[in-house]
Structure 1
Amino acid sequence: MRTEGGRAIYHSSRLFIVGAAGVLLAAFLAGCGNSAETRAFPADAAATIDRIVESGMTAALIPGAMVAVVDPDRGTYVKAYGTSDLATGRPADIHDSVRIASVTKTFTSTAVLRLADEGKLSLDDRLNRYVDGIPYGDTITLRDLLGMRGGVYDLDHEPAYQEQLDAKSPTLGWHEGDRLRAITGNPQYATPPNTRTAYSNSEYYLLGLVLEKVTGKPVHEVINDLVADYGLTETTYPVDATMPTPESRGYAYFDETPTDVTARDTPTLYGAGASMVSTISDLAEYTGMLGRGNLLKPETLHARTQSTQARGGLSYGLGVMVSGRWFGHSGTTSGYTTYIAYLPDRDVSVAVAVNQFTRLLWLRADDIWKEIVTELYPGTLGDTPAPSTAPPVPAVDELDAQLRQSLDPAIPAAAKPLRVENDDKDPDLITRLSTVLAQYDPKFQVYRATAVNNSLMALGLAAAPEGKSQMVVPFAAVDGAWRISSGWACNILTASAVPSPACT
């Protein structure tokens, strides 16, 4: 798996197979609001957040969610929704530990930038000064790695690595040192540095090795020292798969029942790229400290927010993602997704975490974050088109019939009842999509349609050869009609190496 712009890009023959269990939904939502911290927060804004979060949980079968908004004008709103442990039914709490995945990169990059501020390394140092044997290591700089411009091979082609993410019961295993052996042993997949921006966990794994070389300490000690300097008490870089208690269990749906994958992720998988654990309470504080540049020189903070563009719309600085006037980071790993970001001109922090991640259940923490920001801070996400008026939510039977016809490759594009967002750039987009999906013979049947602001999520069962599983097809409101999300369609086409002018 590779992530771009907060979205997971999969290279798997089982692209279409995801799983879920709708029967647990009532239990998920029954415990909403079990823990909250509210300081002078307007009731209407709180209600908006609640509506967005709860509809998102319904749409994507999310057991538990946690949200933090810290706004000098509005106040502070930190709240947990739903369930942290499906086995016991324990309600979610704002002090539950969650895996924050690639939000770890913000800590790793800060540790490197702080060493540069202290003169203990230079961002223009070549990688081979610290790590031997990396293709192009004599020309890759630390600045390149921080900005995802190192060209380092990521693990798209490693079966043992991918299996940790894709399989219900992994058998191949992944061990300490496997990542470095993969990077050094596959020079054919490396590219010269500073030629393109391409999101890669490997670049931050290598930065972790740099931190160890410069400081003489294991990377978990380096990052935990940084955490202590921030004054965070519920955040840690663990040494194994153990989660601090109380923890929010992480879930994935490989079939019709949720699988607890809390212990799936270990530091051997991601290293300094995505290994950390935190709580929404700590993230509420940390997002502002990250955004204000605590522990860094002002000029260093300025440099880290200067971004370059990657494929898929990702704008990446030095360890931060930039979206309009916001900067922060997303995180996606087995069982969890997270998104944090800061709005400098208003000193606002917004963080979201959820305890479920399943391929193509689509709606994740970054989507919930975007909906909250769009409602509470309109115009701050950049040159995004004004949202179209959302049409009524269609009847399930009607939507099911429309999807079946639209995803049937035998029906000409002009006769399909649904269109894909941005298909003016590619009139054959729906045909390309239906042709790719037909390879998996999904026999998708919608059983729930949920509106999430100006989006619509069609949840249904896909009966594939491997068995029944769950899938969400997202829609966007365009010109008063529902259209299949171009992001969802392009994700599928990209994973199947099918080009489209609408997906560039």
Structure 2
Amino acid sequence: MRPRMDAGLVPGALVAVIDPERGTLTRAYGTADLASGRPMDVADHVRIGSVTKTFTATAVLRAADEGKLSLDDVLERYVPGVPNGNTITLRDLLGMRGGVWNLDGDPAFAEQVISKAPTAEWHEGDRLRAIIAHPEKATPPRTETTYSNSEFYLLGLVLERVFGKPVHEVVNDVVAAHGLDNTTYPTDASLPVPESRGYSYFDEAPTDVTRRNTPAIFGAAGTMVSTISDLAEYAGLLGRGDLLKPETFQSRTQFTGDLHYGLGLAQFGQWIGHNGAVLGYNTQMGYLPEKNVRLAVAVNQYTTPPDLLGAVAATIWFAVIRQLYPGTVPDGQTNAPPNPPVPTVAELDSQLQRALDPAVPASEKALRVAGDDKDPELLTRLASALARYSVTTRVNRVTELGPGQLLATTTVTGPNGVRPMILPFVVRDSSWRIDTSWACANLADRTSAACV
């Protein structure tokens, strides 16, 4: 927990493990409120982001079980005007296969999550208007599985139409049926007490964004609030198909695409569950059917774009699982050779400066990218891309996480100011190399053979 928190600039974290054979562990780490210094507490409420989607999906699936709707109904029946709405089915939306524009590229929406001080407030209905106004952004349904918050936002509108009441009431009925006392779909930006404050980095210092997440921004895709104990308990209810007919749950767990996504449910190796991220908060929870184990992690820092500081809750969740339940999630470091010596901050900083200097030939750089055997010029291309925008990097911390894993916590200076960034390294040929996915994410065009 602590090395990943420190490397990822996370003030506080929560973890809960429920194992019928080994017992239950619920623990808090770090700080809930940087202003007061109050420690994190296991009773703290946190935003759970896209874990909300699992509740929304359950509400839709229950409605189908009760005959209130059909999963083969087209969206147009409930929400008119959406591009391709006459061919997109509710099943498509549940499985991230509707082709609905995710709005990440909409400047007005993006400002809500990437700006320290948005110039305008996002209101209820703005999302639907943006989706309808840009039919050219839609793709045909059922062609691929692509993550889209918009699809679950629309499902929230479907639920309102079917039940004749606000979506928060519909979803909170599901919460009550599960018996979760500390989980809720709020109607405003407040959290129940006790609360953990949430933090994001728009510059060098963390900004308190606890009240930035209104229901109008993510709706039924990411608005809910819970505690770590409720999250862990819920992972089992979700993973066992609570509230649903067996055949409905079987349909829910048909996972597709690179996302391994079902109907409002994701697969992570042998685990099923979901992750979530909104400004200031990041969560990951899952259920291991073979052992009836539930495991949840939440942290109170999340920064966009996510390639700056990553999804720390997920990295902690996977690390805990690899310690306690090895072999149940993919592990790229199986039988990894011993780690090479860990460079000091000064050593890695010097190496990184030369690596990201486009004037230094690749043959003279001490650092390499892990996948550069497919593209020997990958590092040069990366250096040129960063130099084009006058981006410079300074290493502040080096953290060894385990076999084949090293993180450099850096400060990046660029056209948008100064911000922290995590740079991951892996072991290749007995040396530390820049992670290929990080290098590809920062290329200007991503056309390298190493990024395919």
TM over 0.5: yes
Alignment of 1:304-343 (within 5 A): 304-310=252-258, 314-343=259-288
The one-letter code of the counterpart of 1:413 is A
SS across alignment from 1:423: coil
Counterpart Cα distance in 2 of 1:254 and 1:377: 36
Q: Which residue of 2 aligns with 1:210?
A: 158
Distance 2:367 2:203 in 1: 28
> Which residue of the partner structure matches residue 69 of structure 2?
121
2:315 maps to 367
* Aligned match for 1:401, one of 350, 371, 374: 350
Superimposed CA distance per residue, residues 310-364 of structure 1 (whole angstroms, 9 cap, x where no aligned partner): 4xxx221111121211111111111111111111111111111100012402251
CA distance in 2, matches of 1:339, 1:94: 16
Cα deviation, residue 387, structure 1: 5.5
Q: How far did residue 479 of structure 1 move?
A: 4.1
Q: Do structure 1's residue 58 and structure 2's residue 9 form an aligned pair? A: no
The 3-state SS of whatever aligns with 1:103 is: helix
| Structure 1 match to 2:244 | 296
Q: What's the TM-score once normalised by structure 2's chain length?
A: 0.95
- The SS at the match of 1:105 is helix
1:232 to 180, 193, 202: 180
Q: 1:358 and 2:307 equivalent?
A: no
Partner of 2:205: 257
Match of 2:373, SS state, is helix
Amino acid at match of 2:154: L
- Structure 1 residues 187 and 467: CA distance shift in structure 2, 3 A: closer
Q: CA deviation at 1:256?
A: 2.1
Alpha-carbon spacing, 1:111–1:198, altered in 2? closer, same or farther (3 Å): same
Tell me, yes or no, if structure 1 residue 191 matches structure 2 residue 136: no
* Cα distance between partner residues in 2 of 1:353 and 1:439: 37
Query: Aligned residue for 2:408?
Result: 458
**Could you tell me whether the CA contact under 8 Å between 1:160 and 1:173 is conserved in 2?**
no
Equivalent in the alignment of 1:440: 389
The reply to whether residue 470 of structure 1 matches residue 420 of structure 2 is: yes
Following TM superposition, by how much is the alpha carbon of 1:211 offset from its aligned partner in structure 2, in angstroms?
Answer: 0.8
| Equivalent residue number for residue 349 of structure 1 | 294
Measure, in 1, the Cα distance between the counterparts of 2:282 and 2:240: 24
Q: Which residue of structure 2 aligns with residue 107 of structure 1?
A: 55
Q: Which residue matches 1:47?
A: none
- Residue 341 of structure 2: aligned partner: 392
Whether the aligned pair in 2 keeps the contact of 1:56 and 1:363 (CA below 8 Å) is: no
- Deviation at residue 467 of structure 1 after TM alignment: 3.9
Displacement of 1:68: 1.0
CA distance in 1, matches of 2:69, 2:62: 9
Match for residue 372 of structure 2? 423
Instruction: Measure, in 2, the Cα distance between the counterparts of 1:463 and 1:235.
Output: 40
Report the Cα distance in structure 1 between the residues aligned to 2:243 and 2:430, rounded to whole angstroms: 48
- Mapped contact 2:5–2:312 kept (Cα < 8 A): no
Any unmatched runs of 5+ in structure 2? Answer: none
Ranges in structure 1 where 5+ consecutive residues have no aligned partner: 1-52
d(CA) in 1 for partners of 2:18, 2:426: 29
Q: Partners of 1:479 and 1:347 in 2: how far apart?
A: 39
Relative contact order higher in (CA < 8 Å, ≥ 6 apart): 1
TM-superposition CA deviations, 1:159-203 (whole Å, max 9, x none)? 121111111111132111110001111000101100011100000
**Aligned equivalent of 1:49:** none
- Secondary structure of the residue that 1:330 maps to in structure 2? strand
User: Counterparts of 1:479 and 1:376 in 2: how far apart (Å)?
Assistant: 28
**Judging changes above 3 Å, is the alpha-carbon distance between structure 1 residues 429 and 377 closer, same or farther for their aligned structure 2 residues?**
farther
Q: Using the aligned pairs only, state the percent identity.
A: 60
Aligned to 1:10: none
- Checking the alignment, whether the CA contact within 8 Å between 1:321 and 1:328 is kept in structure 2 is yes
Query: Which range moves more in the overlay, 136-145 or 447-456?
Result: 447-456
Does the 8 Å contact 1:64/1:81 carry over to 2? yes
Aligned residues: 447
Calculate the TM-score normalised by the size of structure 1. Answer: 0.86
Partner AA of 2:33 in structure 1: D
Question: SS of the counterpart of 1:80?
Answer: strand
Question: Which contiguous aligned blocks of 4+ residues in structure 1 show a shift greater than 6 angstroms?
Answer: none
| Contact kept? 1:237, 1:277, Cα under 8 Å | yes
Q: Give the distance between the partners of 2:180 and 2:430, measured in 1 at CA.
A: 46
Given that 1:371 and 1:453 are in contact with CA atoms closer than 8 Å, whether structure 2 keeps it comes out as no
Match of 1:179 in 2: 127
Task: Check whether the contact 1:387–1:477 (CA below 8 A) recurs between aligned residues.
Answer: no
CA displacement 1:254-286 (0-9 Å, x = unmatched): 122211001111110011000001110111111
Match of 1:486 in 2: 436
RMSD over equivalenced CA pairs, Å = 1.6
* Aligned mates of 2:330, 2:250 — CA distance in 1: 19
Equivalent-residue separation in structure 1 for 2:415 and 2:450 (angstroms): 31
Equivalent residues of 2:81, 2:132 under 8 A apart: yes
